[in-house]
């Protein structure tokens, strides 16, 4: 699934949604930049950021919607 966000009538890059429904998740290199990691669980979620995996300047977009 892809999501295009519009701001000031300008389309930003399309985000690929990585939907997670569990209570634990370890971020992966593929989660950087044009991905939105969506956490859909009403319970607390533990997200692990592995050391030295993301290059300097990488952006990881996350949202909790559960």
pLDDT for 41-50, tens place per residue?
A: 999 999 999 9
pLDDT for 14 equals: 81
pLDDT at 2 over 70: no
- Per-residue pLDDT band for 58 (boundaries 50, 70, 90) equals very high
3-48 pLDDT, tens per residue? 555 556 565 568 899 999 999 999 999 999 989 999 999 999 999 9
Rounded Cα gap, residues 62 and 51, in angstroms: 18
Residues 43/64, Cβ–Cβ less than 8 Å: no
């Amino acid at each position: 699934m892809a999501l295009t966000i519009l701001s000031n009538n300008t389309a930003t890059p399309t985000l690929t949604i990585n939907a997670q429904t569990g209570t634990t998740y370890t971020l992966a290199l593929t989660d950087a930049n044009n991905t939105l990691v969506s956490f859909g669980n009403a319970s607390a979620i533990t997200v692990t950021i592995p050391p030295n995996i993301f290059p300097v300047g990488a952006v990881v977009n996350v949202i909790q919607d559960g």
